[in-house]
Amino acid sequence: MDSVINAEASKAELRRRLMAVRARLTADDIADARASLACRALELPELAGAGTVAAYVSVGREPGTHDLREALRARGVRVLLPVLLEDNDLDWGRDEGPERLARAGRGLLEPEGPRLGPEAVTGADVVLLPGLAADRRGVRLGRGGGSYDRVLARLERAGVHPALVVLLYDGEVLDEVPGEAHDRPVHAAVTPSAVHRFRSP
C-alpha cells in the first residue's frame, strides 16, 4: 500500500511541474507546436495505413490535435472523438469537423453526432492519447482522471491491439515516470520534433 501511495504522490508532484511548464507556453508556441506535431505524426506508418483512428480534441495548452485530425479526415480516415461520461468513462462519436463540436463539461469539446458506445474504440487501428509525459518504457502520465486507463483496459479485454500513441511537447519524454501495476505502456510518443518508439504494436 505504501508503494501505491508513494507512486500517486510522485505522480501528483510531476503533474504539477509539467503543468507549470505548459502554463508558460504562449499562443505562438502552441500554434507552432500544433503544426509540427501534425507533420510528425502523419509520418507514422501506423497512421498511413489506418482506416479508423481514435483521437481527441485538444483544449487549453494541450498539444494541438486540430491540424492532425483535419489531415486524417482529408485522407478519408474515420476519426473517433471521446465523449466524457458521468463516471469518467468514455463514449465515442465521429469527428465531422470543427463546426460539429459542442462545448461540454470541464471545458471539453465533444462531437455532436450519434454516440457509438464505449466499445467503439475497439475498432480503431490507432488510438491517440493525451498525456503530460511518457518515459522510455512507454509509461504514460495522464491527468489522473482514469478515463484512458479504462480505454486501455477495454482494448485489452477485447483482445485488440491498436497502435497506442501519446501526443506530447518536446521535453515531455522523460527517463522515468512513476508507474503502477495497472499502467499499460504506449507504443510511441510523438512530439513536434521527433517520434519516440518504445515497443512494437
* Domains, the chain: 2-197 (3.40.50.10420)
Quick one: pLDDT at residue 7?
56
> Rounded to 10 degrees, what is the CA torsion of 78, 111, 121, 142?
120
- Give 10-residue mean pLDDT values along the chain (201 residues): 51 93 95 96 94 96 96 97 94 95 86 95 98 95 89 95 97 90 88 91 66
Q: Of 75, 43, 41, 46, which is closest to residue 56 (Cα–Cα)?
A: 41
| pTM, to two decimals | 0.92
Q: What is the DSSP string of 82-98?
A: EEE-TTS-EEEEE---G
Task: Please state, in angstroms and as integers, the Cα–Cα distance from residue 44 to each residue in 49, 80, 144, 197, following that order.
Answer: 9, 18, 27, 11
Position 1 scores a pLDDT of 33
Residue 72 near residue 47, CB atoms below 8 Å: yes
Q: What is the pLDDT of residues 85-121, one digit of tens each?
A: 999 999 999 999 999 999 887 788 899 999 999 999 9
134 by Cβ neighbours in 10 Å (0-12 / 13-18 / 19+) ranks as buried
- For the chain, what is the radius of gyration of the CA atoms? 16
